[in-house]
Chains A and B, each alone.
Chain A
Amino acid sequence: MLNSKKDQRRSPAVLAVLIAIVALALGVAACGGGSSINGGDTESEEVKLEGKPSGDLTISNWPLYIDEETVPDFENEIGVNVAYKEDVNANEEFFAKMDPLLKQGESGGRSLFVVTDWMAAKMHELGYLQNFDKSALPNFEKNLVANLQEPEYDPNREFSAPWQSGMTGIIVRKDLAPDVKSICDLFDPKYKGKVEMLNELRDTVPLVMKCLGIDPTNAGEEDWLKAIDKIESAANSGQIRRFTGNDYGADLTSGNAVAVIGWSGDAVQLQADNPNIEWRMPTEGCILWSDNMVIPVGAPNPTAAEAFMNYVYDPENQAQIEAEVNYVSPVEGAKQVLLKEEPEIAKNQLIFPSKSFTKNCTIQPSPTGEEEQNLNRAFNAVLNG
């Protein structure tokens, strides 16, 4: 305080320097903003392959989504040096990180990454993905399971190759909630404060639509909002304890929750750890989704990326991954391999579901554009009370 006089004399100079630097930053930003954005071109370029796969390959995938031997085995067999990063934790978060790079036609050194259907569709729409050169993907052409060959967003599988698929349905504590069999049962007041739902718009809302008798595949904004309303009143009444990511596992184990909306792969793991936890295929059916390998624009060494994709579509190699991660395999023939090696996994309906098991299930729907924004807003208003 005693020095205030001196401070006052000097501060304009300091201020001037600060302003100058901020102005500089503004200028830099303006330059950055001015560069071209190649969004919107739906005609994606095809990757350019170069001879035999070699060199370095960087892959981004979700955590705990591979067998630890898969990458070393691939490196030995093909002669490629792999940096395998587990840095995809959520589609939206990964997109936020990648968007500024992809906009400039760069991938941050990544040759391959794995995102969920709707995100792959969105990235393709923005011109962020390259089409495959299928000449290097014979295993993918031959072994992709039939029901995943023609998704609506990529009918010829030109830019997306399923890594793993999964089902969203109900996981219960069978000792505490023996009679929960449908999504509608989750709204039974008997279980007030003991029900949890996923904080994912595209998992939770379509399932609740099914309870309301609405087919999520052809649902319009009104239908989504109807389901969101139902969820909201259940949240307000205290029926729904909270909305979770995959931390519902801890609540089921402790008994804080007795019935939740959850993912099939988690259910396999939770069942193995606690015999009281059980997957229930909702009587209304489940939601089917896939996480997909995609090659972004600016990907270095796409040759090696395609070699990796082809490698994991070999049934033997796929079986190795499948025995570890417990989601639904997109590769034909992996089941036959596992029948010999680990029959328990091969016979598990959550890992190799039969047609009759998933007969009422729906491919995960995804709203787009303005509708997506409105629904996101409505759903998150429920999540945040």
Chain B
Amino acid sequence: MRRRVAPYLLLGPGAAWLLLFFVVPLYYLAELSLNSGVFGSYEFSWHWENYSDALQLYDTQFVRSFVYAGLATLFALLLAYPLAYTIAFKAGRWRNVFLFAVVAPFFTTYLIRTLAWETILSDQSPVVSVLDFLGLAPEGHVLATGGAVIAGLTYNFLPFMVLPIYASLERIDERLIEAGKDLYASAAQTFWRVTLPLSAPGVVAGTLLTFIPASGDYVNAQFLGSASNQMIGNVIQSLYLKQSDYPAAAALSFVLMAAILVLVLVYIRFAGSEALMGEEAV
């Protein structure tokens, strides 16, 4: 008897929370997305055109969001993997210090961290002079370009990439790597055939944790981008708070959710669900 009740009791608080703060708002959002009319007098009317409008009017920003988020995820992965690898295998007694350093930025708010990039990439900053010298700032400035937005996204979501990869690397049984060496595999071969596959769950989790929030982000584009670098999150924000076009904003939010869901499903299918679930699922 107790065995049957306990799981529900444990599920209860989480489920109630999700129901109240996710399912119910989602329902209202769905209703709102089918409203029509003008600001001040929106009415529910099964207005599906909101959805086709959302796709037609904002396809540019959709594509841009996924390109920016994809690039940010790629750069974050390239930065995070060696970092996580070093922390897991080479850091020795410095391991906790490094881990703390990865998490430390979270002690300041997201907004402040993004605004710091505004200072770092300011037109007169040494960083920009160097980039300009190297020919990496063709417009003469770095702020207010797509590059700045991608850099901001990469930076802000980097810890979400580092931590899962670290967790999966750290769990690897070192005897497996030793076994690889015993079987005359070179260091590179051991890495490709033992370490990397075993850390795949961390890579998949990290890319998802980076890509999903990055594609919906609007803070980086707002502060680091120009008008031609705005992402779909900015469009939704301006539909809500500037244009007061709530139905269009709601419809666009649903389209974004669906698009991310589809992309993620395709990705998981491609990357293999075993990798996501870890070896237990195999």
Contact = CB atoms under 8 A, between A and B. Distances in A.
B225 interface: yes
A383 to B, nearest CB: 6
B40 A381 contact: no
Interface residues of chain A: helix, strand, loop or mixed (majority) = helix
A250 B141 contact: no
Interface string A227-250: 000000001101011110001001
B226 interface: yes
Given A90-B241, A254-B124, A255-B124, A369 B38 contact: yes
Interface string B228-243: 1110001100111111
B230 A93 contact: no
A193 B27 contact: no
B227 A240 contact: yes
Interface of B: 19, 23-24, 27-28, 31, 38-41, 44, 57-58, 60-61, 118-119, 122-124, 139-141, 143-144, 223, 225-230, 234-235, 238-246, 277, 280-281
A193 B230 contact: no
Contact of B244 (A92, A126, A247): A92
B245 A377 contact: yes
Interface in A5-60: 18, 21-22, 25-26, 29, 33, 39
Contact of A385 (B28, B228, B281): B228
The range of chain A's interface size is 35 or more
Contacts of B39: 122, 372-373
Contacts of B281: 1
A-B pairs with lowest CB-CB distance, top 7: A385-B228, A384-B230, A376-B243, A235-B227, A385-B227, A242-B226, A93-B241
B227 A193 contact: no
A157 B85 CA distance: 69
A3 to B, nearest CB: 10
B130 to A, nearest CB: 17
Nearest to A377: B243
B94 to A, nearest CB: 37
A25 B239 CA distance: 26
Contacts of A26: 27
B31 A29 contact: yes
A316 to B, nearest CB: 38
A383 B244 contact: no
B242 A199 contact: yes
15 contacts: A1-B280, A90-B241, A93-B241, A96-B244, A193-B144, A199-B238, A201-B242, A242-B227, A254-B124, A256-B122, A373-B243, A376-B243, A380-B235, A383-B227, A385-B228
A235 B230 CA distance: 12
Contacts of B234: 384
B166 to A, nearest CB: 25
Interface string A367-382: 0011011001100111
Interface of A: 1, 18, 21-22, 25-26, 29, 33, 39, 90, 92-93, 95-96, 99, 122, 125-126, 193, 199, 201, 235-236, 238, 240-243, 247, 250, 254-256, 369-370, 372-373, 376-377, 380-385
A238 B141 CA distance: 11
Contact of A373 (B19, B38, B229): B38
Contacts of A241: 141, 144, 226
A193 B238 contact: no
Contacts of B144: 193, 241-242, 256
Of residues A126, A240, A385, which shows the largest number of chain B Cβ atoms within 10 Å of its Cβ?
Answer: A385
Given A25-B24, A385-B229, A372 B38 contact: yes
A22 B122 contact: no
Nearest to A17: B15
Nearest to A21: B19
A22 B230 contact: no
A380 B24 contact: no
Nearest to B40: A126
Contacts of B244: 92, 95-96, 376
B19 A381 contact: no
A370 B281 CA distance: 56
A247 B242 CA distance: 16
Contacts of A235: 226-228
A25 B38 CA distance: 26
